[in-house]
Amino acid sequence: MAEANETVATRSVVVQRTGAQAAWRDLGRSSRLRLLGLAGSVGVLTLLFVVPLAQLVGLALQNELHSYIPLVPFISAYLLYNQPRTVGSYRTSIGATATLAAAGVAALIVSIQFHDRLSVNDDLSLSMLAYVSFIGASGFLFLGSDRMRAAAFPVAFLVFMVPLPAVAVNWLELRLVAASADASAFLFAWTGTPLFRQGAVFTLPGIVLEVAQECSGIRSTVVLVMTSVLASNLFLQSTWRRIALIAVVIPLAIVRNAFRILVIGLLCVYVGPHMSDSFIHHRGGPIFFALSLVPLSFFLLWLRRHDRVARS
């Protein structure tokens, strides 16, 4: 039985390799040169940007907010590999190539011009924006608009390689803190817990809690947005249903963060103030992130079922 399974697996690999080789042989000389040119262009761009790419990996290892970034190119590569084969000729799209190349050059100029004034994070944001723009320009140069349209999502997904600028992070954190404080105050009132609130500072029986910017949940929110964008493309066909899945992430993130504040507050009230320095406070983020995936998954299943009904 084991030998039979091994034989089937070996034949499958051989068939895949044979299919890939046959597809390559079926291409004309011009198409092969264009694909080789694209591969060479991506390789050269990666070498030219090797320093900021290395810095980006270092930033991802040091900053939890950007820890998802190293996964992005691998996800894009997987999506590209599993894209349905597009039929059509390869032709250069001059307009799109020039537009994306201009965007990349502009990002590089700003990065160089204001290098001394920019933080490491913001400098990397501009460098990665340039890198992704040049990758897209290379695609339009060697493949053309028709084939790039088919590969639009995997290529556009590379935008998640660009770290959020500091000003955007600060703005998002402040908005998430304010919204989470409002939602958690409602939950405390709903549970009947005595509460005196001054902005983001909650006075509970025996403890005073502050919803600081560090408690905004921005990292989980960004990852949740990326997850919803990926899931909407993989499992949904309708544009408005895709938008609905992505749009629900923000209120879901606020409710998740408010629930986390509620849990920590109730633990401090009924167990002891020391719970404000507990594992659930400092390392409980992944637990509440996993919990937020449950309603998101059910909503996705509901949208997918209606998506199938609409297409049938």
- Give the closest residue to 204 by CA, choosing from 191, 219, 194, 190: 194
Residues 155, 53, single domain; the answer is yes
Interior CA angle at 65 toward 60 and 70, to 5°? 35
Terminal alpha carbon distance of the chain? 40
Residues 22, 159, single domain; the answer is yes
- Give the closest residue to 104 by CA, choosing from 76, 126, 73: 126
Amino acid 199: pLDDT = 87
* Residue position matching structure tokens 């695609």: 139
The predicted model scores a pTM of 0.83
How many residues are listed for the chain in this entry?
312
Asked which of 128, 148, 163 is the last residue of a domain, the reply is 163
Residues 114, 43, single domain; the answer is yes
Q: What is the spatial distance between Cα 134 and Cα 96, in angstroms, rounded to a whole number?
A: 11
Domain encompassing residue 263: 168-311
| Domain tally, the chain | 2
Residues 130, 189, single domain; the answer is no
Per-residue pLDDT of the chain (312 residues; tens, 9 = 90+): 545 444 444 444 444 444 455 555 656 667 778 888 889 999 999 999 999 999 999 999 998 889 999 999 999 999 988 877 665 667 888 999 999 999 999 999 999 999 889 999 999 999 999 999 999 999 999 988 888 888 889 999 999 999 999 999 999 999 999 999 999 999 999 999 898 988 888 999 988 888 888 778 888 899 999 999 999 999 998 899 999 999 999 999 999 999 999 999 899 888 888 887 877 777 778 888 888 999 999 999 999 998 887 776
